[in-house]
């Protein structure tokens, strides 16, 4: 769904405030959960969105219009797996409730691409309990294609090197990977 469980959001906000990124790429923002949470208290941050489902861009006001400034400074309607690497060269890349919507190997490749593109931090949030889901509101990209377990994500992020902090909740797991030791 284009929404996210509240679990882990306070934890994520605390780490966002600690790391103070100047540039953010939000992959699969849906309704813009993270921009709504992080942006109000942190002006001057450049926000990029990569949203695969074009109707969400208009429905959730992700893109700037002449009448108002919305959540993102730039919005790209494309599959993140096909996005140019420069979009991941950010202080923070957010994969908030998005990696479960692709095969595991695609998700792992995407995390590696973000790291190799030069991002400084990666925030991952995803269900760590059985969470089957199909198409939602005509969006086939909402289907859950992989059921993650927290230990598996720990191992994937450990392969990137750097340092990882983890929050395991009752439904969601959140990881903040940082290039900095």
Residue 156, domain CATH: 3.40.50.150
- Distance between CA 15 and CA 69 in Å, rounded? 26
Q: Per the domain annotation, does 2 fall within a domain?
A: no
**Residue bearing the bigger pLDDT, 8 or 133:** 8
Q: Per the domain annotation, does 93 fall within a domain?
A: yes
Q: What is the pLDDT of residue 58?
A: 85
Average pLDDT, the chain: 87
The 10s digit of each residue's pLDDT in 101-153 is 899 999 999 999 999 999 999 999 999 877 665 566 766 556 556 688 999 99
The 10s digit of each residue's pLDDT in 15-66 is 999 999 999 999 999 889 999 999 887 888 999 999 998 998 888 888 765 4
In this structure, what is the dihedral angle of CA atoms 75, 20, 84, 155, given to the nearest 10 degrees?
-120
168: containing domain = 9-178
Tokens matching residue 122: 């990666």
User: Rounded to a whole number, what is the distance in angstroms from the first to the last CA of the chain?
Assistant: 34
Q: Per the domain annotation, does 3 fall within a domain?
A: no
Q: Per the domain annotation, does 163 fall within a domain?
A: yes
Confidence (pTM): 0.89
In this structure, what is the dihedral angle of CA atoms 1, 144, 6, 45, given to the nearest 10 degrees?
-80
Q: What is the pLDDT of residue 67?
A: 45
Q: Per the domain annotation, does 4 fall within a domain?
A: no
Structure-token match 């996210």, residue found:
4
Please tell me the total count of domains within the chain: 1
- Strand 121-127 relative to strand 163-168: parallel, antiparallel, unpaired? unpaired
- Distance between CA 106 and CA 98 in Å, rounded? 11
Q: Per the domain annotation, does 168 fall within a domain?
A: yes
The 10s digit of each residue's pLDDT in 63-87 is 765 444 668 999 999 999 999 999 9
pLDDT of 2 over the 60 cut:
no
Residues recorded for the chain: 181
Distances (CA, A) of 150 to 79, 80, 114, 180: 25, 23, 20, 22
């Amino acid at each position: 769904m284009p929404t996210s469980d509240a679990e882990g959001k306070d934890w994520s906000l605390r780490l966002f405030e600690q790391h103070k990124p100047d540039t953010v790429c939000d992959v699969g923002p849906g309704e813009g959960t993270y921009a709504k949470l992080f942006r109000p208290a942190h002006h001057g941050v450049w926000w990029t969105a990569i949203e695969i489902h074009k109707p969400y861009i208009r429905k959730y006001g992700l893109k700037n219009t002449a009448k108002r400034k919305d959540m993102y400074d730039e919005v790209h309607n494309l599959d993140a797996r096909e996005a140019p690497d420069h979009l991941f060269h950010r202080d923070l890349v957010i994969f908030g409730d998005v990696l479960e919507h692709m095969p595991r190997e695609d998700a792992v490749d995407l995390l590696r691409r973000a790291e190799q593109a030069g991002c400084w931090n990666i925030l991952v949030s995803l269900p760590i309990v059985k969470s089957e889901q199909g198409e939602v509101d005509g969006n086939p990209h909402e289907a859950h294609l992989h059921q993650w377990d927290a230990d598996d994500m720990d191992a994937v992020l450990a392969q990137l090197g750097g340092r990882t902090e983890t929050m395991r909740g009752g439904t969601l797991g959140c990881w903040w990977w940082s290039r900095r030791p």
